[in-house]
Amino acid sequence: AAVNQFIRELDAFSLPMDSLLQEGCGTDNERFFVGPPMQYPGMTAEFYHDWGLDFMKKNKTIDLELLNSNMSRPDSHEDFGRFELPKEFVEDLLKQVISETMEKAKDGMPEGLEAVMKLVLDNPILDWRNMIRRFFGSSMQVGRYRTPMRPNRRYDDQPGWKNDYAAKLVVVVDTSGSIIEEEFNAFFSEIDEVTRVTDSRVWLVQVDETVQSVMKYGKGMWRDLKLMGRGETDLQPAVDYAQEKLRPEGLLLFTDGFTDLPTISRRALFVLPKSHNPEFVQEAKSIYGRSSVVFLK
**Hey, what CATH topology would domain 128-135+168-295 get?**
Rossmann fold (3.40.50)
In degrees, to the nearest 5, what angle opens at C-alpha 123 toward C-alphas 117 and 129? 115
**Residue count of the chain:** 297
111: left (phi over 0), alpha (psi -120 to 50) or beta: alpha
- Give the span between the Cα atoms of 280 and 67, in whole angstroms: 46
Q: 65-96: buried (b, 16+ CB within 10 Å) or exposed (e) per residue?
A: eeeeeeeeeeeeeeeeeeeeeeeeeeebeebb
| Rounded distance between C-alpha atoms, residue 95 and residue 249, angstroms | 23
**What residue spans of the chain are helical by DSSP H?**
8-11, 17-23, 45-58, 64-72, 87-105, 111-122, 128-139, 181-198, 236-241, 278-288
Whether the pTM exceeds 0.75: the reply is no
The answer to whether 4 and 14 have CB atoms below 8 angstroms apart is yes
CA distance to 67, 68, 142, per residue, from 72 (Å) = 9, 6, 21
User: Can you give the pLDDT at residue 148?
Assistant: 58
Q: Which of 25, 33, 85 is nearest to 61 (CA)?
A: 25
How many other CB atoms are there within 10 angstroms of residue 144's CB atom?
14
Residue (of 221, 227, 190, 225) closest to 207 by Cα position: 227
The neighbour count for residue 31, using CB atoms within 10 Å, is: 11
What is the reported pLDDT for 139? Answer: 46
Tens digit of pLDDT at every position of the chain (297 positions): 788 888 876 777 778 888 777 766 666 666 667 888 888 888 898 898 888 888 887 876 665 555 565 555 555 555 555 545 555 556 666 767 777 776 776 666 666 666 666 655 554 445 677 777 777 765 444 445 556 555 666 556 666 655 554 557 899 988 876 677 788 888 888 788 777 655 567 888 988 888 888 988 877 777 777 766 566 788 999 999 999 998 888 899 999 899 999 999 988 999 998 889 999 999 999 998 878 898 887
